[in-house]
Amino acid sequence: IIICSPSLHLFDPKYSKNRNIFFFIYFCASKLSLQQLPVITSNTIVRCRSCRTYINPFVSFLDQRRWKCNLCYRVNDVPDEFMYNPVTRSYGEPHKRPEVQNSTVEFIASSDYMLRPPQPAVYLFVLDVSHNAVESGYLNVFCQSLLDNLEKLPGDTRTRIGFVTFDSTVHFYNLQEGLSQPQMLVVSDIDDVFIPTHDNLLVNLKESKELVKDLLNALPGMFTHTRETQSALGPALQVAYKLMCPTGGRVSVFQTQLPTLGAGLLQSREDPNLRSSTKNVQHLGPATDFYKKLALDCSGQQIGVDLFLLSSQYSDLASLACVSKYSAGSVFYYPSFHHVHNTVQSQKFQKDLQRYLTRKIGFEAVMRIRCTKGLSIHTFHGNFFVRSTDLLSLANVNPDSGFAVQMSIEESLADTSLACFQAALLYTSSKGKRRIRVHTLCLPVVSQLSGVFAGADIQAITCLLANMAIDRSICSSLSDARDALVNAVVDCLMAYRANGSNIQPSGLITPAALRLFPLYVLALLKQVGALYAYTPPEAALHLNDSVIPQPPLLQLTAEKLTREGAFLMDCGSVMFLWVGKCCNETFIRDVLGYPNYASLPSNMTEIPELQTMYSERTRAFISWLLESRTFHPAFHVVKDDTSAKTSFFQHLVEDRTESAFSYYEFLLHIQQQMSK
């Protein structure tokens, strides 16, 4: 899926010499579209001889023997093999081949696309077992989740698995087939850490499955009485790198505190007395380059590192995240995690693990992006290593991976009516197959800015701005990033007023596609959510024999709340169900399972499955909201008279806070900036 939109620089004539466009790439697909994805097996993969673009629906055939590239315009010959259409089993119709009929295709790659034979899927789990980790209870959740999903790990009969645990020392586990139980090997020299044996630490999952299960059952109890409070994360990552070097694969790291021993140790940079001050925000950059250097080494050996940070204290995420950012990994953060005291985070961790362990995965991947002559790549955003100007190194890639790309218009596009972009991902599947996933997008070139504004995608623009703001906050400061977001709105609306609108009103005027742009940016400056009101069951959507209620979507302001109602707020990573003091008791009984408002507990974190119409329809609506998401949000039921409502009200972005404008005040501020 490619979501594309012009960037704000293209709107403003003062940027005419440095105009940018951008797009987002997600190599994911729904279950239905995966079934319809054309998978092409051919001895010859047809590509442009000049720019190496893959043949696609937007090329033009001059005749049956020649085709013209839609990116560099070179005329190429049609190979004899391409004259045969395997779908229709006919000859002489190259324009009907699946490569030319579908903008997304997947090729089975030949040996020409391999530097070495495809490696097996290899999974290494690196686990913090210090006192802090054991007390948090995450080991129980992790081990049980992996046990439940062990059979679902992507791979084949060659799949390999291994485990490393650490506190002030590093522990390895011999899982050789035939042993009566796993053997622990301890390395205490963390200053010169080494692998005690090169055999049987990464084992074939099929052959050693019973030993793996024994280890997972035993791990939570092995460190129950530990008094080790130190964390040698750096040395544990170093041995993980050494273990995985021969094959590459995925390293999953679970950490609960600040690393305090060995390479990569960190000191607290937080001043508890200044937690509400902007001075602590200065530490958004890493404190050491150890984790970045290690990540680059991992990337070179096709090792991706995913970090799960389950911390109840300061852990310097700004430094630790580098190990995932530059190795094409992911970061999962669970603040104040505790399996008993914070059941919301525990439930979210469990659900996230299920998705993480079972989703599809690709190894040894590279992605190249090509574009029409006259355009060039400006900036990438995401987790990767940039190998060259248009080539990303991705040790691991999965359906949740997404990348944003800014592109510059270097030459005039006046002579062409179309601009094309192609992203090609070469990867090894978990089954050991080398494949190439190709996305091609073609967009019209317009002569009037009004056409650009009409095609603007507000969600894509806001997503890119969020990426740019994060980079700005790390390189400069958080205040500069906030100012840049506001300036983006001002520049956009000023450009539209100057070029895209024939109306000169006294107030703000925005293009239809961007009418909520100021609100989206205000939500970035604050927090974001969507608010739904409880409604009678008549308002519903009927899909596939299911009844999906459609409560009205409300503005994010306290003015829309009533004590007689119940309101669902969807914030992406968290959901709140706010229940008013005078809420209908039928709703409370049939949806929440309690007789009245007073009996509702203050720490309710899920909606029970009740055999009532209201319960079924409420759960159907929430499921409908979540069906397009890969990771489930945390859930809170919030009573009107509890302290938890503070978190709920913080997400009402249209209301004024002590440190931020209301939506009305923000619009006035934008108008004032435009009149300067």
Q: Which domains does the chain have, with CATH numbers?
A: 10-106+365-454 (2.60.40.1670), 122-358 (3.40.50.410), 465-526+658-674 (1.20.120.730), 530-650 (3.40.20.10)
pLDDT digits (tens, 9 = 90+) for 612-633: 988 988 888 888 888 877 788 8
CB atoms within 10 A of CB 668: 14
pLDDT for 21: 60
Residue 220 tokens read as 């939570």
First to last CA, the chain: 41
| Mean pLDDT for the stretch of residues 44-59 | 94
- Statement: residue 17 has pLDDT above 70: no
Using an 8 Å Cβ cutoff, are 227 and 131 in contact? yes
Work out the pLDDT band at 571, boundaries 50, 70, 90: confident
Give residue 94's pLDDT: 86
At residue 573, the pLDDT reads 84
How sure is the predictor about 44, in pLDDT bands with cuts at 50, 70 and 90?
confident
Separation of alpha carbons 374 and 338, rounded Å = 54
For residue 255, the cross-strand partners are: 309
User: CA-CA distance, 341 to 136, in Å (whole number)?
Assistant: 9
Work out the widest C-alpha separation in the chain, in whole angstroms: 82
CA distance 8 to 475: 21
Lowest mean pLDDT among 17-31, 456-470, 533-547: 17-31
Give the pLDDT score at 500: 56
Local confidence band at 259 (pLDDT 50, 70, 90 cut-offs): very high
Q: What is the pLDDT of residues 105-116, one digit of tens each?
A: 999 998 888 889
**Integer Cα distance of 605 and 616 in angstroms:** 17
User: Which pLDDT belongs to residue 83?
Assistant: 87
**Cα Rg of the chain (Å, integer):** 27
Tokens 């505790």, located at residue: 338
Q: By C-alpha distance, which of 518, 465, 469, 462 is closest to 661?
A: 518
Print the SS3 string covering 387-456: EECCEEEEEEECCCCEEEEEEEECCCCCCCCEEEEEEEEEEEECCCCEEEEEEEEEEECCCCHHHHHHCC
Buried b (16+ CB within 10 A) or exposed e, 235-260: bbbbbbbebbeebbbbbbbbbbbbbb
Helix, strand or coil for residue 384? coil
pTM given for the model: 0.87
**At residue 537, does pLDDT exceed 80?**
no
Look at residue 115 in the predicted model and tell me its pLDDT: 85
At 132, the amino acid letter reads N
Highest mean predicted confidence (pLDDT) among 301-310, 339-348, 515-524: 301-310
d(C-alpha 585, C-alpha 582), whole Å: 8
Q: How far apart are CA 460 and CA 471, in angstroms?
A: 17
Indicate whether 89 pLDDT > 70.
yes
Using pLDDT thresholds of 50, 70 and 90, give the confidence band for residue 185: very high
pLDDT given at position 534: 63
Beta-ladder partners of 425: 367, 437
**Across 547-565, average pLDDT:** 86
Q: Are 4 and 421 in contact (CB under 8 A)?
A: yes
Cross-strand partners of 311: 335
CB-side neighbour CA atoms (13 Å) of 30 = 5
Helix (H) or strand (E) holding 106: strand 104-108
- Cβ atoms of 332 and 352 within 8 Å: the answer is yes
Calculate helix-pair angle for 478-495, 663-674, nearest 10 degrees.
70
The pLDDT tens digits for 389-425 are 889 999 999 988 888 888 888 888 888 888 999 999 9
Average pLDDT over the chain reads: 86
The lowest-confidence range among 158-167, 476-485, 538-547 is 538-547
